[in-house]
Amino acid sequence: MTAPDLAAAASVIDLASKVVDSAVGQLAAAGSIDDHQVLAYDVAHAASAVATAKGLLDYGAKGDLEGRITCAFVADAVADLAGKVFGQEARWGVEAGALDGARDFLATYRAPEFLAGITDPGPRHLDGDFEMVQDTFRRFADQKLAPIAEHIHRENGDIPEEIIEGLAEMGAFGLSIPAEYGGYGEGGEGEYIGMVVATEELSRGSLGAGGSLITRPEILARALIAGGTEEQKHEWLPKLATAEVMNAVAVTEPDYGSDVAGVKVTATPTEGGWLINGVKTWCTFGARADVLLLLARTDPDRSIGHRGLSMFVVPKERGDGHGFELVQAAEGGAPGGGKMEGRPIDTIGYRGMHSYEIALEDWFVPAENLIGLEGGQGRGFYYQMAGFENGRLQTAARAIGVMQAAYEKARQYAEDRTVFGSPIGEYQLTQAKLGRMAVIIQSSRQFAYVVSKLMAKGEGAAEASMIKAYVCKAAEWVTREAMQIHGGMGYAEEYDVSRYFVDARVLSIFEGADETLCLKVIARKLVADAKA
């Protein structure tokens, strides 16, 4: 087995970074990113992979297997970059052969024999406390989520209340809520890493019935922490921490997805509060939710874009998972008669949470439910971003959990299935595929820990977008190959691996569609930094 060479890996990463920097310089000089979207998109993904590789170097120094995983990932990331650059050197602002210095490294660490020798994703190197978090949530996922995950997927069923109650008892909904507001968050990197570890393990059991359950409270909690008054924090955060209140997020609209500044749903002042009118879509968990975190236009002047948006906590009754109609009673200051109708949107995967198109007609929201009260008017976009930044890191953790589940099933099937007289796990092609899966999973996981530490210091917004962009796309490849290793059985619903594949497909769509994330967030940040 070839020994890892971390010095060479660092040198190759440096070479790749220069190529990416050159392309960023091209974009900066060109003016509008939108005139060069293909280049900007490729640069954003390349930068994300390079950032992941850089974040892996410390991990690679912790042992032989860790070093081999690091070298294999770096080689793959640079090979992918080379494919993007080849024939497009002028666009990237580099000479032909700009990555030739990495040729020997790639030949060594992308060799099938090298990949085939990586037989597991390696140790996580978590501190003892986080190992305990991992064990606790993995046990719950194995015992409670895995047995029901396939039934929920096939029947498009609801998440059982005992799952919500069980997670609440474990403190899953209060991981990022400060202790002073009834949660378990104590600030620092531990809060973020704990959330990542828990989310991964729950998503390994079920994306729809586990990992995603704790995302929505996380988004609302972050929005409240960013802009809520003390009274609002004390009112809502303890209820979120105990799951007394479960929430959905109502931001997207039929004509406005990632283009949040165009939101049309209106909030009009009325006696004692606001009346909400309009339609939201892709409101996941909208029926079961007790409140919606809703973004609405409070300033009728649409020309001011996102500066006219505000964020509300919108109470509602629980509705039927397969569609609901609610009529507001005349109580608690509400004039009565407000209507809310939820139409379910059937999806190929990610079932259990259920997504809805929700129409609101004169739905009354008390004045005290405007996040930030008077000072929060026009600040809704920023409160949403505070919630979604962490949501992107959490989505990456969900992707890692799905990949881990798919890898485990594929490896077991490869051991058990015999073809042409031998277990398929003994064939080089299968071994190389499993090796590459292991490399991607651990590299993604370690970068998630790196981003967690950055976010704990108030940094890492760009890296949170990068990890989502990289990991969610990688999850499609990992689950696809896990399905392929199963052959025909991978296409059968009775095998979990088919569910992982369709679940993984949603990850590059929500919490910021991949294209929007790359063009409007990552590429813009790279160009802004280059101009600074």
Question: In angstroms, rounded to a whole number, what is the distance separating the alpha carbons of residues 97 and 19?
Answer: 11
Percent of the chain residues past pLDDT 90, beyond the cut: 80
The total of structural domains in the chain comes to 2
Question: In angstroms, rounded to a whole number, what is the distance separating the alpha carbons of residues 428 and 266?
Answer: 59
Task: Using the predicted structure, report yes or no on whether residue 469 has a pLDDT greater than 90.
Answer: yes
3-class secondary structure per residue, 42-102: HHHHHHHHHHHHHHHHHHHCCCHHHHHHHHHHHHHHHHHHHHHHCCCHHHHCCCCCCCHHH
Q: Is residue 299 part of a domain?
A: yes
Residues 478-522: pLDDT tens digits? 999 999 999 999 999 889 999 999 999 999 998 778 999 999 999
Task: Using the predicted structure, report yes or no on whether residue 261 has a pLDDT greater than 80.
Answer: no
* Known catalytic membership, residue 511: yes
Top pLDDT among 201 and 532 is at 201
Question: In angstroms, rounded to a whole number, what is the distance separating the alpha carbons of residues 208 and 349?
Answer: 8
Q: Is residue 342 part of a domain?
A: yes
The number of beta carbons lying within 10 Å of the beta carbon of residue 286 is 30
CATH number for the domain including 310? 2.40.110.10
Q: Name the active-site residue from 150, 253, 511, 515.
A: 511
Task: Decide which of 93, 110, 127 is a domain's last residue.
Answer: 110
Concatenated DSSP letters of 486-518: TGGGGGSTTSHHHHHHHHHHGGGTSSS-HHHII
Question: Could you tell me the pLDDT band of residue 239, with boundaries at 50, 70 and 90?
Answer: very high
Concatenated DSSP letters of 120-138: S-------HHHHHHHHHHH
Task: Decide which of 76, 110, 144 is a domain's last residue.
Answer: 110
Q: Can you give the pLDDT at residue 257?
A: 59
- Mean pLDDT of all residues in 279-305: 92
Distances (CA, A) of 368 to 36, 178, 181, 308, 317: 45, 22, 18, 19, 18
Q: Is residue 54 part of a domain?
A: yes
Concatenated DSSP letters of 341-408: EEEEE--SS--SS-EEEEEEEEEEEEGGGBTTGGGGTT-HHHHHHHHHHHHHHHHHHHHHHHHHHHHH
281 near 345, Cβ under 8 Å? yes
Q: Is residue 95 part of a domain?
A: yes
Q: At what angle do helices 523-531 and 37-60 cross, to 10 degrees?
A: 80
Q: Is residue 274 part of a domain?
A: yes
The number of beta carbons lying within 10 Å of the beta carbon of residue 3 is 9
- Mean pLDDT of all residues in 270-274: 95
- Mean pLDDT of all residues in 330-356: 91
Largest CA distance in the chain: 78
Q: Is residue 252 part of a domain?
A: yes
349 near 510, Cβ under 8 Å? no
Quote the pTM value. Answer: 0.95
Task: Decide which of 51, 77, 110 is a domain's last residue.
Answer: 110
Q: Is residue 305 part of a domain?
A: yes
Question: In angstroms, rounded to a whole number, what is the distance separating the alpha carbons of residues 482 and 471?
Answer: 16
Domain containing residue 329: 247-374
Q: Is residue 264 part of a domain?
A: yes
Tokens of 19: 């190529």
Question: In angstroms, rounded to a whole number, what is the distance separating the alpha carbons of residues 70 and 89?
Answer: 27
